[in-house]
Amino acid sequence: MRFEEIKRRLEEEFIVYDVEPIENGVRFYVHPKYGEISKDMRVFLTQLTAEYSIKIKNVYGELVLELKRVKERIWINVVLFVATLITTTLMGATMYERFDLVGGLMFSMAVMFVLGSHEMGHYLAAKRWGMKTSLPYFIPFPTIIGTLGAIIKHRGAIPNRRALFDVGASGPLMGILASVIVIIVGFHIPFNPPRVEGERIVLGTPPLFKILAELSGYRGNYIHPVAFAGWVGLFITFLNLIPVGQLDGGHVLRAMIGKRADAISKVMPLILINVGIVVSYLYNVDDTIWVFWGLFTLFFALHPHPDPVDDVTPLDRRRMILGVVTFVLGLMCFTPVPFRIT
């Protein structure tokens, strides 16, 4: 939107008595006509955040609205992608009988395909609704898989609950599909695991993973790192679909039942903590990720979900059914003890 159009829209509720060009933007000196800013004006300003960074401040007693165009820095995405490709390859190379860079690259491509598919699901759904969003930012980190995942950044208002649902659900669904593909491929690749003396990591088996193993006729005790990448995708999908705050599950549930989702979001961390305590007792494990994840999601639960611009029009029946299916698939990615050291 051009600055002249923005000025005309502002003049509906503000006296705009000066306009000052600044680097890559403009500064409006304004005075409210009616004391308080209306809801429509707040929505308009929120929509502007899709293209501009906005600051409202007092300068020597004057109310100033400052707009600066947001510039995409694609080079950051590229650098992080390359760095994550390196870290995941190096970590994957250690999963074989001998240090194997080719095998590490196979693992890297598998895990980045899974994570990238999840984020691209969000990206494509957002673009379909005309929402402003970034390309995926991969996060390199020397963990067991060499990454902390990937994220994308949304800017601007959410048009309606249908858009919120589509963006929220598309990521997990694309992630599950990519994970299924990777797991099936991994089941059919021969694998000689490294000889480990002493402690080793044993993975829990989600129901969906078991089903895929049965369908593929897999009977081994060790899975290829490519199949492990798919396992990681299922695990991350479940974590994301927990209906808390602005996690994917929080988006989907907020779109399905409206503001009633806030109550569920607030109680879910306590449920996770209690699940962790019960799992520790039943499975005789000293620590469990669910207590940690309950404490972690508590921070998400403390912040209410932002309202869509149209928060009145409900979802259609097709999306409601798809939402239920999405949560069911998420539960099929759950395992009480994801990993333990034996």
Range 25-35 burial, b when 16+ CB lie within 10 A, else e: bbbbbbeeeee
How confident is residue 196, by pLDDT bands cut at 50, 70 and 90?
A: low
How confident is residue 201, by pLDDT bands cut at 50, 70 and 90?
A: confident
The gap between the terminal CA atoms of the chain, to the nearest Å, is 60
- In this predicted model, what pLDDT tens digit does every residue of 72-119 receive, in sequence order? 788 999 999 999 999 999 999 999 888 999 999 999 999 999 999 999
Please state, in angstroms and rounded to a whole number, the distance separating the CA atoms of residues 293 and 235: 13
- In this predicted model, what pLDDT tens digit does every residue of 26-84 receive, in sequence order? 888 888 887 777 877 877 887 787 778 888 887 777 788 888 887 778 899 999 999 99
Q: Span 284-303, mean pLDDT?
A: 85
Please state, in angstroms and rounded to a whole number, the distance separating the CA atoms of residues 193 and 225: 9
Q: What is the pLDDT of residue 300?
A: 81
SS3 228: helix
Helix (H) or strand (E) holding 101: helix 101-128
Task: For residue 173, give both structure tokens.
Answer: 């669904």
Residue 301 contacts residue 265 (beta carbons within 8 Å): yes
Q: Is the dihedral of CA 275, 278, 281, 284 positive or negative?
A: negative
Instruction: State the CB neighbour count (10 A cutoff) for residue 261.
Output: 22
Query: Which domains are present in the chain?
Result: 3-69 (3.30.1360), 74-341 (no CATH)
Please state, in angstroms and rounded to a whole number, the distance separating the CA atoms of residues 169 and 190: 34
Q: Is the dihedral of CA 128, 137, 322, 46 positive or negative?
A: negative
Q: What percent of the chain has pLDDT over 70?
A: 97
Q: What is the pLDDT of residue 244?
A: 93
Please state, in angstroms and rounded to a whole number, the distance separating the CA atoms of residues 145 and 329: 23
| Least confident piece of the model among 59-68, 141-150, 261-270 | 59-68
Identify which has the larger pLDDT, 154 or 169.
169
Q: Span 12-20, mean pLDDT?
A: 85
Identify which has the larger pLDDT, 235 or 48.
235
Residue 179 contacts residue 121 (beta carbons within 8 Å): no
Residue 119 contacts residue 138 (beta carbons within 8 Å): no
Q: What is the pLDDT of residue 110?
A: 97
Q: What is the pLDDT of residue 197?
A: 66
Task: For residue 221, give both structure tokens.
Answer: 């005790």
Please state, in angstroms and rounded to a whole number, the distance separating the CA atoms of residues 7 and 93: 57
Q: Round the average pLDDT of the chain to a whole number and report it.
A: 89
Q: What is the pLDDT of residue 134?
A: 87
Q: Which of 179, 182, 193, 329 is nearest to 252 (CA)?
A: 329
Please state, in angstroms and rounded to a whole number, the distance separating the CA atoms of residues 53 and 46: 10
What letter would DSSP give residue 260?
A: G
Q: What is the pLDDT of residue 18?
A: 86
Q: Are strands 132-133 and 147-151 parallel, antiparallel or unpaired?
A: unpaired
Query: Exposure of 181 by Cβ count < 10 A (0-12 exposed, 13-18 middle, 19+ buried)?
Result: middle
Please state, in angstroms and rounded to a whole number, the distance separating the CA atoms of residues 131 and 157: 8
| Least confident piece of the model among 47-51, 100-104, 167-171, 292-296 | 47-51
Residue 213 contacts residue 187 (beta carbons within 8 Å): yes
Dmax of the chain from CA atoms? 76
How confident is residue 214, by pLDDT bands cut at 50, 70 and 90?
A: very high
Q: What is the pLDDT of residue 321?
A: 97
What letter would DSSP give residue 224?
A: -
Residue 83 contacts residue 147 (beta carbons within 8 Å): no
How confident is residue 243, by pLDDT bands cut at 50, 70 and 90?
A: very high
